[in-house]
Amino acid sequence: MTHELAIRVYYEDTDLAGIVYYANYLKFIERGRSEYVRALGIDQAALKRGHGIVFAVRRVEADYLRPAKYDDELTVKTDLVAETGARLVLDQSVWRGAEKLFTATVTIVCLSETGAPTRLPADVRRKFAPPVH
């Protein structure tokens, strides 16, 4: 399932040339991941409260293809590539219409409150599983 999040580029997202500052793409895809998880019915605050588990970015491999500019309407797309008990790998991209501007492969790990790797509870893992047809 591809999750899509619509965003607009604001002045604060750009540099002096009116082009999106490179680090802001990481903010855009963070919002996309957060909304993806929310759309799956996972409440991250409740996960922390109830199980002491949080998600943390372990690795980002990013490719900047074309610049986004002030006032562009963008779409952040998020797809799950792999899921293990304590790790998620996501493909994310930022689009302006049919034009791909940015891609990233993001590895997320599940951590306990002490920062140690931990497995997701089975009920949460099932939410990441693709629907059976």
Please list the active-site residues.
15
Amino acid at position 67, single letter? P
**CB neighbours (10 Å) of residue 51?**
15
Could you tell me which residues come within 8 angstroms of residue 102 by beta carbon, excluding any fewer than 6 positions away?
A: 25, 28, 29, 62, 63, 64, 65, 68, 93, 94
Closest residue by Cα to residue 82 from 43, 129, 36: 129
Which stretch of DSSP H or E encloses residue 128?
Answer: helix 122-128
